[in-house]
Structure 1
Amino acid sequence: MEGAGCFLSMRPINIQSHRHEWFGNGSRIIITTRDKHLLTAHQVNLIYNVRELDDHEAFDLFSAIAFPGERQLSDDYKKLANTVVHYARGLPLALLW
């Protein structure tokens, strides 16, 4: 893909201040949000709903990222991990960020 570029932002951006002409013809723009009204307001025509993880899947994912190499978490770490999992409400990106 000659001439292809990549713009990645892991921070919230103001969509109003970013213009479509910044991107070339055929560009793919990936937006992550919980607010579907934001997408429809900006005429997003393809929406993929990410499946939420159940509590066990979310706990395993977060633990693997936050505590790499730990086979058995201490009770304090388990409590912390469960707090984060509850806060993230099963959204994978929230667990990784």
Structure 2
Amino acid sequence: MKLDLCMPCLFGLEGPLGNELRHMGMDSVAPENGRVRFSSDGLGMARANIRSRFGERVLIELGQFHAPSFEELFEGVRALPLERFIPKN
């Protein structure tokens, strides 16, 4: 299962981190300010988390939504597919 991932890094290290992730075989590597977005499976996520010299940690992007109020934030988080990662019981 491919996951949309994000790895934060110090400003200025986006390029080296992107190259490092490409070298590890990650897909859709896209450097941005202070982070690099990419996709991989669970094994690649673990590999990036352990082997990266420039990234801080690997984050899984569960979804995106606009939330100008707390109520919309609550409803947006509630709609995320958390059961894919956290069992109900």
TM-score (norm 1): 0.24
**Which structure: larger Rg?**
1
Q: Which has the higher helix share?
A: 1
TM-score (norm 2): 0.26
Q: Which has the higher strand share?
A: 2
